[in-house]
């Protein structure tokens, strides 16, 4: 089966792409991404894809990088495919942030890819990682130390910021891509920095992996790829098992999770570890950053027979508390005093004394909306005033709060909205709930607005609300 047919078969089997998709294709100019672009272009007419090429000039290799960017632009023009080129001063960003070069380049590259996807209305970004990249990643993780989830390797698909990252070449080896470029007479660039062994991945690819193949196993890349496929399936199964027992046995609120010790001790150790990490993630703690020894200390504190009452600081304002049969993971934060204020449309502003936040309120009889930046859009909102019932209420959050959202039949729990938005538990209590006189939640300032009272072409009165809150908290909400 030729390369085009193999990629198409994988796209179908894994449902990586769909007919009529708008797709951003990340193209570096190397043989991998050039081969991928060519294959997708050949398939695009049959699949009705709208392709957009995206290329980043990282400005590491001034003249060479500029030549690559020009080459990608010209090749996209030859294919008749729109092309977005970003010239980003990554060396300067590294100097300003202190990040290592590869991490900095990746961060800025992915940011640009997401911006390009948003600009072109694309739901998928296609990346050219291949089977050799997968083998190198697996070996790197083994050397640095990893758990079962790390052995799943690079995922073939992953959702990120409402866009899906897709890798249709992940089961195809570099040699096959080079052969394809040769037979199709495709020109490509070779990045000279790929031969610099100061980078760990290059050292793995150029030195360690060939040595292990020569000395121990000629099929090592294939073996590592098989391992990643098997571990991905088993990791997915265990994740689903952990999610199921979590749903049945763990009580979750905005700033704590609670469960029975007696139940937990009867759960298999593999699920115990995953449950703890799952609960931490729900509390907006990045569980993958948790040291294995700390995880084991938490598990041991829960499982050991005596004493029955103990507490452990986890870090990041979280603690684990054991009281007889009850285990609780919770924040240190003491909830603020409950509050409730009324807000009239002509009031101007309202200060929430308990939190220090200010809600500004204005009513207009003509459309005076102005387009703001990201922060402005996140902390201000417009409503059709005639579709609301006044006065509004500004209050603290209550258990059971629910809000109607655009595109959602029915309502969603406010605590789930906070979890989805990764709002830290310590901040959730600072965000006011705004309702109208019919007790409908219309806005979670800085987070989401409801589907009530949207501004339309028939709107005659515009209500504008804006949240003013200290900069540190605002940055946390918008990150």
Q: Is residue 229 part of a domain?
A: no
Tell me whether residue 399 is exposed, middle or buried, using C-beta atoms within 10 angstroms of its C-beta: 0 to 12, 13 to 18, 19 or more: exposed
Q: Dump strand ranges (E) for 58-113.
A: 83-87
For residues 356 and 432, the answer to whether their CB atoms sit within 8 Å is no
Asked if the peptide bond before residue 131 counts as cis, ω within 30 degrees of 0, the response is no
d(CA 465, CA 462): 10
Q: Is residue 242 part of a domain?
A: no
Q: In sequence order, what are the residues at sequence separation of 6 or more whose Cβ sits closer than 8 angstroms to the Cβ of residue 55? A: 26, 27, 28, 29, 68, 69, 72, 73, 83, 84, 85, 86
> Would the pLDDT of 288 be above 60?
yes
List the one residue out of 95, 5, 97 whose CA is nearest residue 46.
Answer: 5
Q: What is the pLDDT of residues 150-208, one digit of tens each?
A: 999 999 999 988 899 999 999 999 999 999 999 999 999 988 888 888 889 999 999 99
Q: What is the pLDDT of residues 75-106, one digit of tens each?
A: 999 999 999 999 999 888 888 888 888 888 99
Looking at the structure, tell me whether residues 324 and 344 fall in a common domain: no
Res 259: pLDDT: 95
> Would the pLDDT of 477 be above 70?
no
Q: Which of 281, 300, 331 is the endpoint of a domain? A: 331
- The conformation of residue 138, written as its DSSP 8-state character, comes to H
Query: Average pLDDT of 260-273?
Result: 96
Domain count, the chain: 3
For residues 283 and 257, the answer to whether their CB atoms sit within 8 Å is yes
> Would the pLDDT of 264 be above 70?
yes
List the one residue out of 351, 21, 267 whose CA is nearest residue 166.
Answer: 21
For residues 70 and 87, the answer to whether their CB atoms sit within 8 Å is no
d(CA 278, CA 286): 10
- CATH number for the domain including 272? 3.30.465.60
Q: In sequence order, what are the residues at sequence separation of 6 or more whose Cβ sits closer than 8 angstroms to the Cβ of residue 202? A: 194, 195, 196
Query: Average pLDDT of 1-21?
Result: 95
Of 115-124, 309-318, 381-390, the poorest mean pLDDT is in 309-318
Looking at the structure, tell me whether residues 325 and 384 fall in a common domain: no
Looking at the structure, tell me whether residues 143 and 58 fall in a common domain: yes
> Would the pLDDT of 335 be above 70?
no
Residue with tokens 């930046």: 373
Tokens for 321, please give them: 């508390």
Res 373: pLDDT: 43
Res 284: pLDDT: 75
DSSP string, 57-70: E-SSSHHHHHHHHH
Q: What is the pLDDT of residues 368-422, one digit of tens each?
A: 875 444 445 568 899 999 999 999 999 998 888 999 998 888 899 998 898 888 7
For residues 179 and 2, the answer to whether their CB atoms sit within 8 Å is no
Helical packing angle, 31-47 and 62-79, nearest 10°: 20
d(CA 171, CA 131): 5
| Alpha-carbon torsion (261, 265, 271, 272), positive or negative | positive
Query: Average pLDDT of 441-469?
Result: 92
Using DSSP bridges, classify how beta strands 441-444 and 251-252 pair: parallel, antiparallel or unpaired.
Answer: unpaired
Res 372: pLDDT: 45
Looking at the structure, tell me whether residues 390 and 315 fall in a common domain: no
Looking at the structure, tell me whether residues 314 and 449 fall in a common domain: no
Q: Is residue 173 part of a domain?
A: yes
d(CA 9, CA 6): 5
Looking at the structure, tell me whether residues 383 and 428 fall in a common domain: yes
List the one residue out of 270, 329, 255, 254 whose CA is nearest residue 298.
Answer: 329
Q: Which of 224, 242, 259 is the endpoint of a domain? A: 224
Looking at the structure, tell me whether residues 310 and 426 fall in a common domain: no
As a dihedral over the C-alpha atoms of residue 139, residue 141, residue 142, residue 147, rounded to 10 degrees, the angle is -140
d(CA 294, CA 161): 30
Q: Which of 286, 314, 331 is the endpoint of a domain? A: 331
For residues 448 and 404, the answer to whether their CB atoms sit within 8 Å is no
Q: Is residue 261 part of a domain?
A: yes
d(CA 220, CA 213): 6
- CATH number for the domain including 106? 3.40.50.620
For residues 441 and 346, the answer to whether their CB atoms sit within 8 Å is no
d(CA 44, CA 117): 17
For residues 20 and 160, the answer to whether their CB atoms sit within 8 Å is no
Q: Is residue 156 part of a domain?
A: yes
> Would the pLDDT of 309 be above 90?
no
* Distances 130 to 29, 68, 136, 253 between C-alpha atoms, Å: 15, 21, 10, 42
- CB neighbours of residue 242 within 10 Å: 22
Res 62: pLDDT: 80
Looking at the structure, tell me whether residues 67 and 173 fall in a common domain: yes
d(CA 59, CA 38): 25
Q: Is residue 379 part of a domain?
A: yes
- The conformation of residue 207, written as its DSSP 8-state character, comes to I
Q: Is residue 305 part of a domain?
A: yes
Output the average pLDDT for the chain: 90
Looking at the structure, tell me whether residues 142 and 254 fall in a common domain: no
> Would the pLDDT of 429 be above 80?
no
Compute the residue count for the chain: 479
Looking at the structure, tell me whether residues 81 and 201 fall in a common domain: yes
> Would the pLDDT of 423 be above 80?
no
Structural domain containing residue 414: 340-478
List the one residue out of 298, 311, 309 whose CA is nearest residue 272.
Answer: 298
Residue with tokens 């590869």: 102
Q: In sequence order, what are the residues at sequence separation of 6 or more whose Cβ sits closer than 8 angstroms to the Cβ of residue 320? A: 298, 301, 302, 311, 312, 314, 327, 328, 329
Res 44: pLDDT: 97
User: ∠ at Cα 394 (392, 395), nearest 5°?
Assistant: 135
Looking at the structure, tell me whether residues 350 and 327 fall in a common domain: no
Q: Is residue 135 part of a domain?
A: yes
Q: Which helix (H) or strand (E) holds 51?
A: strand 50-57
Looking at the structure, tell me whether residues 101 and 170 fall in a common domain: yes
Residue with tokens 């290592």: 100
């Amino acid at each position: 089966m030729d390369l085009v047919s193999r990629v198409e078969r994988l796209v179908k089997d894994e449902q990586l792409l769909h007919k009529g998709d708008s797709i951003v294709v990340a193209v570096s100019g190397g043989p991998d991404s050039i081969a991928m672009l060519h294959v997708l272009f050949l398939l695009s007419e049959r699949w009705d894809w709208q392709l957009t090429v995206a290329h980043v000039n990282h400005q590491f290799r001034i003249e060479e990088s500029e030549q690559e960017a020009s080459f990608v632009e010209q090749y996209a023009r030859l294919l008749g495919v729109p092309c977005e080129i970003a010239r980003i001063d990554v060396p300067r960003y590294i100097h300003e942030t202190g990040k290592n070069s590869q991490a900095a380049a990746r961060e800025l590259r992915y940011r640009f890819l997401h911006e390009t996807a948003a600009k072109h209305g694309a739901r998928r970004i296609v990346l050219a990682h291949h089977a050799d990249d997968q083998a190198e990643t697996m070996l790197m993780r083994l050397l640095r130390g990893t758990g079962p989830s790390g052995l799943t390797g690079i995922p073939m698909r992953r959702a990120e910021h409402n866009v899906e990252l897709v890798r249709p070449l992940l089961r195809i080896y570099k040699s096959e891509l080079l052969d394809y470029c040769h037979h199709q007479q495709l020109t490509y660039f070779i990045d000279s920095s790929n031969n610099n062994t100061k980078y760990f991945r290059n050292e793995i690819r150029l030195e360690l992996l060939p040595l292990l193949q020569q000395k121990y196993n000629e099929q090592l890349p294939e073996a590592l790829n098989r391992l990643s496929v098997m571990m991905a399936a088993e990791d997915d199964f265990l994740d689903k098992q952990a999610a199921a027992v979590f749903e049945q046995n763990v009580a979750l609120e905005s700033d704590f999770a609670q469960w029975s010790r007696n139940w937990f001790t009867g759960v298999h150790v593999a699920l115990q570890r995953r449950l703890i990490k799952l609960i931490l993630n729900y509390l907006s703690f990045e569980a993958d950053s948790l040291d294995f020894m700390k995880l084991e200390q938490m598990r041991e504190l829960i499982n050991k027979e005596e004493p029955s009452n103990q507490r452990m600081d986890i870090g990041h304002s979280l603690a684990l508390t054991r009281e007889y049969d009850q285990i609780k993971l919770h924040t240190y934060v003491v909830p603020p005093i409950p509050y409730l204020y009324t807000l009239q449309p002509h009031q101007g502003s309202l200060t929430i004394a308990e939190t220090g936040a200010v809600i500004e309120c204005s009513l207009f009889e003509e459309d005076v909306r102005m387009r703001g930046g990201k922060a402005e859009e996140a902390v201000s909102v417009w409503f059709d005033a005639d579709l609301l019932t006044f006065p509004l209420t500004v209050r603290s959050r209550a258990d059971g709060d629910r809000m109607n959202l655009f595109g959602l039949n029915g309502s969603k729990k406010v605590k789930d909205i906070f979890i989805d938005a990764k709002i830290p538990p310590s901040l959730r209590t600072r965000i006011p709930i705004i309702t109208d006189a019919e007790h409908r939640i219309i806005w979670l300032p800085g987070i989401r607005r409801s589907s009530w009272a949207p501004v339309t072409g028939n709107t005659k009165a515009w209500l504008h609300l804006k949240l003013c809150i200290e900069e540190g908290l605002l940055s946390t909400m918008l990150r």
